[in-house]
Amino acid sequence: MALSKSIIDSTLESSLGTAAYHIVERLHDAGFDAWWVGGAVREMILGHIPTDIDMATDALPEQVAKIFPKTDMTSAVLGSVRVPLKNHLFEVTTFREDDEASDGRHPESVVFGKREDDAKRRDITVNALYWNPISRELYDPFDGAQDLAERLIRFIGDPATRIRHDALRILRVVRFRARLSGQYHPETYQALRELAPLLEHLSGTRKLEELEKMLAGAHPDRALEDLWELDILPYFLPELHACKGIPQPADYHHEGDVWEHMLTVVRSYREEDGIDVRMAALFHDIGKATTFSLKDRIRFDHHATVSAELTAAALGRLQMQAKQREKILWLIQHHMMMGSFVGEDAMPEERKAHWYFHPWFSELLALFYLDIAGTDPADFSLYDAIVKDYHQFLDSHPRPPKPLITGEEVIAILGIPPGEKIGEVLKLLHDAQINKKITTKKEAREFVEKLKEHP
């Protein structure tokens, strides 16, 4: 495979391509070597105009910064800087070579080298692709273009050595296989299986980043199937591994066991589903593995609560930030209560307001949609009824204004612990705000102070 003239021309005519060309041009004019590298080149070979362009150069970070004064030097110690130009931001990295002292967990120690060294240190052949937009030369030392034609995922050099140098490559290679709808070279496949335990030594942050990329990319279900088949899941996400072989009620789940349900859910991701919804959908039923019981039929009592608890442990290991983790756990915890909104036993309007005005309710609806889409047969009648009721409610009930002060502030003013009294005060504050009796934070605090004086 080679780069077609039409793709080259279209890329260079785009705003992104024009700006990336100018960066290489200015580096060349200053006497440095510079190339587009990796994903952008791969996309062009595949016939796509890239949406992101990274560059590699023999210029040191400080030398790049002299040419582009607004350069972000945050990661300069790792040899990488970010250069803004014409409303675009480009990552420009100095050619590096592998640090042979790496222990598989800390590959970040940097040794600068030549372009040839930089190519050797990359993980797979389809990532070791360099293109010069000025000379239009393709540098492909490991036949990555040929591997792209075969959709072949192949480690550069000895696969075991590449993995031991940085075990995160196990997850990266699985992600690329899914993204390219590719196939593994036999030696790459075997190394992934044999060295999967090395993942246990990696930081949770690095593993979380790869998981999010898998779920946001093409064919996330294929990546998950590979994680299972290659025996990677026990060292990465054992909670998901436990879902294989857990049966579900045949009358409601023709798709199969909990694992098959989860894969079908993941296949149903829509473009509008953000990473929090995707993550919640991935973990929403992991509690079924420990709540399985046989009564009149297969049942999973309280599995939503257990799923949230298990997810909390998994996301804790992955070092997810607390605010994002809180939302995902909330979504999982409440995904089984959707039948309470419509029908004869629907909750009262006042209670609906608590849910329909909740900032995460639309994402709870998205999770409910995916749960149904992952079920065979998929019956969306309840989902449709809730969406209709939700929009009718919002049309007839204006969204309340944001509270002027928080419950924590009320607790501090009154000097009492959380409880029913705080809820009562917040309700009084809400009513006073709705009726325009108070309009500022100062007035809200004074309102609570008076309640303290005259309880």
CATH fold match for the domains 1-150 and 156-236:
no
User: Residue 77 is encoded by which pair of tokens?
Assistant: 């110690």
* CATH class, range 156-236: mainly alpha
* Beta carbons of 448 and 432 less than 8 angstroms apart: no
pLDDT value, residue 98:
74
DSSP 90-146: EEEEE-EE--TT--BS-TT--EE--HHHHHHTSSBGGG--EEETTTTEEE-TT-HHH
* Beta carbons of 83 and 76 less than 8 angstroms apart: no
Which of these, 185, 80, 77, 73, lies nearest to 123 by C-alpha position?
Answer: 185
Give the residue extent of every domain in the chain. Answer: 1-150, 156-236, 259-396, 407-453
Burial class (CB in 10 A: 0-12, 13-18, 19+), 283: buried
Instruction: Tell me the residue ranges of DSSP E strands in 110-262.
Output: 111-112, 130-132, 137-139, 152-153, 183-184
* Beta carbons of 417 and 411 less than 8 angstroms apart: yes
Q: What kind of fold does domain 1-150 have according to CATH?
A: Beta Polymerase; domain 2 (3.30.460)
Sequence-separated (6 or more) residues with CB below 8 Å from residue 136? 3, 8
Name residue 201's amino acid: H
pTM: 0.85
Does residue 381 surpass a pLDDT of 90? yes
Q: Would you call 58 helix, strand, or coil by DSSP?
A: coil
Q: Would you call 70 helix, strand, or coil by DSSP?
A: coil
pLDDT tens figures, 187-221: 999 999 999 999 999 999 999 999 999 999 989 99
* Mean pLDDT, rounded, of the chain: 92
pLDDT tens figures, 121-165: 999 999 999 999 999 999 999 999 999 999 999 999 999 999 999
